[in-house]
């Protein structure tokens, strides 16, 4: 299934709202008052130290689960028109991404991380990009956080796991790969096709019963239309020539997807955790699709994050909002299907998030499993300023090892051939919830490079 990629770019790392993790609170009189936005001319360091360190702030006594609220200093919330807020919360910038199966891409992004001047409660963006392999991607995104509160001394606190979203995208991929079904396919089985996809979606994620609680529910509605054509990979067969029935069933295909999920999440952050674990079950049903068929895809995933002593730092200090923290992260997932789905919507491994040493969609079938371990550490715990308003918070590395396989049904996964990949990634953190990565993975079929926004799990 083609969906809106999390990719997009170093610039996209600017779009996520907040930085910092709350821990034990310090006394109110130990925290300097942060002037409100109208007390003085705008200062991009208001609420921050000159090196980018963000001191902890006292949170209201009635805030539940305080470590899951992100503090946004007043220096990152500038009032005024988009022109007034340019390069503070309103950005126009070039983008760059890379994935082996689509090539290097570039484009332009227009983002407003304080859309409609809602004190960083809303985000909106438009992305336009084109790659060296002829791929096109155009997307519009909107997001609103459900639980956000102004602090009397300035700045905003925001609970990160509760939000509503809406997205629309058009993606034309000329070099989508298909290798056939099963875990025993070889690199020589490669075929290619063009997938022209239009996707419109909306979603809700919220914690129960209070903001930041461990139980997290997910609802989503997504409409997709896919038009398939001949592939453009040089010296490789066209998928439609070798699998005419599969391509015919997946061509000119419309579908409506309903997503329902429930999870238990003890992590201190969903986007960049330092400790805790989670488990989630997700059901994606297709009540309406071309031809009158019906199908579903089910996923169970989990992760565990363990903090470790800093390899290149002392872990910051007790008065810091987001201290550098090294971790071991372990993730696993199992996915399977029921009913009838087009071949491009079946579980697959390879690419930016699974078996990163292989090209995207390298292994496909009706069931899949994947497991990964990463050691995430920060050789540069204090970053550097790009402008007065934009700074690299820290730089990190993450060696990783992954295993996974696919099979024709869930019960046969234990008998399928297991594939693995190993690699290392560069991590660039702009804020706690905003991490950009470049992963280099290696497998017995060669290497693959992925540049993307956000951690893989």
* CA distances, 26 to each of 66, 92, 152, 267, 321 (Å): 13, 38, 16, 22, 11
CATH number for 112:
2.40.160.50
C-alpha to C-alpha distance for 400 and 423, rounded to whole angstroms? 5
- What pLDDT shows up at residue 95? 62
Residue 270: asked if its preceding bond is cis (omega within 30°), the reply is no
Tell me which range, 75-79, 91-95, 269-273, is most confidently predicted by mean pLDDT.
269-273
From CA 266, how far away is CA 68, in angstroms rounded?
10
Kindly state whether residue 351 falls inside one of the protein's structural domains.
yes
Q: Band the pLDDT of 38: cuts 50, 70, 90.
A: very low
Reported as a pLDDT band with limits 50, 70 and 90, residue 207 is very high
Which domain, by its residues, includes 391? Answer: 11-453
Q: Is residue 5 part of a domain?
A: no
The conformation of residue 343, written as its DSSP 8-state character, comes to G
Is residue 155 in some structural domain?
yes
In this structure, of 113-117, 230-234, 275-279, 380-384, the range with the lowest mean pLDDT score is: 113-117
In a domain, 171, yes or no: yes
pLDDT band at 40 (very low <50, low <70, confident <90, very high): low
Q: Given pLDDT bands bounded at 50, 70 and 90, which one contains residue 27? A: very low
Q: Say whether pLDDT at 421 is over 50.
A: yes
Q: Which stretches of 179-318 are assigned E, i.e. beta strand? A: 191-208, 215-230, 253-265, 276-289, 295-308
Average pLDDT of the chain to the nearest whole number? 85
Any idea how long the chain is?
Answer: 457
Residue 248 lies in a domain: yes
CB-CB contact of 258 with 284 (8 Å): yes
- Across 45-69, average pLDDT: 86
Q: Tens digits of per-residue pLDDT, 149-177?
A: 999 888 899 998 999 999 999 999 888 99
- Mean pLDDT confidence for 121-136: 84
Q: What is the spatial distance between Cα 127 and Cα 137, in angstroms, rounded to a whole number? A: 8
Is a pLDDT exceeding 80 seen at residue 399? yes
pLDDT for residue 16: 34
- How confident is residue 23, by pLDDT bands cut at 50, 70 and 90? very low
The answer to whether position 98 is within a domain reads yes
Q: Could you tell me which of 137, 200, 192 has the C-alpha nearest to residue 170?
A: 137
pLDDT above 50: residue 428: yes
Higher pLDDT, 141 or 391: 141
What value does the mean pLDDT take over residues 294-310?
A: 97
Residue 261: count other Cβ atoms within 10 Å of its Cβ.
18
Tell me the sheet residues that pair with 348. 364
Is position 1 within any domain? no
Query: pTM for the whole thing?
Result: 0.83
CA distance 164 to 419: 37
Number of domains in the chain: 1
Helix (H, G, I), strand (E, B) or coil at 187: helix
In a domain, 2, yes or no: no
């Amino acid at each position: 299934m083609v969906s809106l990629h999390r990719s997009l770019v170093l610039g996209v790392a600017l779009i996520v709202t907040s930085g910092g993790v709350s821990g034990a609170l310090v006394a109110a009189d130990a925290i300097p008052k942060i002037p409100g936005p109208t007390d003085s001319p705008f200062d991009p360091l208001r609420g921050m130290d000159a090196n980018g360190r963000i001191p902890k702030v006292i949170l209201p006594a009635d805030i539940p689960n305080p470590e899951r609220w992100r503090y946004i200093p007043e220096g990152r919330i500038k009032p005024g028109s988009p022109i007034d807020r340019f390069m503070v919360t309103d950005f126009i910038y070039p983008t760059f991404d890379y994935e082996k199966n689509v090539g290097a891409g570039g484009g332009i992004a227009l983002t407003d991380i304080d859309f409609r001047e809602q004190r960083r409660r809303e985000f909106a963006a438009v992305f336009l990009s084109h790659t060296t392999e002829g791929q096109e991607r155009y997307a519009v995104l909107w997001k609103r956080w459900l639980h956000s509160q102004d602090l009397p001394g300035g700045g905003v606190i925001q609970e990160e796991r509760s939000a509503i979203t809406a997205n629309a995208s058009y993606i034309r991929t000329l070099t989508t790969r298909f290798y056939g079904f099963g875990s025993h396919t070889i690199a020589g089985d490669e075929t290619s096709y063009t997938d022209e996809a239009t996707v419109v979606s909306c979603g809700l994620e919220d914690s129960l019963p209070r903001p930041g609680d461990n139980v997290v529910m997910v609802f989503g509605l997504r409409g997709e239309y896919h038009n398939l054509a001949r592939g453009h990979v040089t010296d490789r067969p066209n998928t439609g020539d070798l699998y005419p029935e599969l391509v015919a069933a997946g061509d000119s295909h419309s579908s409506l997807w309903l997503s329902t999920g429930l999870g238990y999440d003890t992590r201190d952050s969903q986007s960049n955790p330092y400790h805790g674990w989670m488990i989630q079950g997700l059901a994606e049903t297709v009540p309406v699709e071309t031809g009158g068929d019906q199908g579903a895809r089910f996923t169970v995933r989990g992760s565990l994050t363990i903090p470790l002593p800093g390899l290149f730092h002392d872990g910051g200090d007790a008065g810091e909002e987001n201290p550098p923290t090294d971790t071991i992260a372990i993730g696993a997932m199992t996915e399977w299907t029921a009913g009838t789905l087009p071949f491009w919507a079946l579980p697959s491994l390879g690419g930016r998030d699974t078996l990163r040493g292989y090209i995207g969609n390298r292994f496909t079938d009706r069931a899949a499993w994947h497991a990964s371990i990463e050691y995430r550490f920060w050789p540069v715990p204090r970053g550097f300023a790009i402008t007065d308003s934009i700074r690299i918070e820290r730089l990190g590395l993450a060696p990783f090892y992954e295993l996974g396989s696919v099979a024709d049904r869930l019960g046969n996964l234990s008998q399928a051939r297991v594939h693995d990949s190993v690699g290392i990634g560069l991590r660039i953190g702009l804020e706690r919830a905003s991490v950009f990565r470049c992963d280099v993975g290696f497998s017995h079929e060669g290497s693959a490079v992925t540049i993307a926004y956000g951690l893989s799990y």
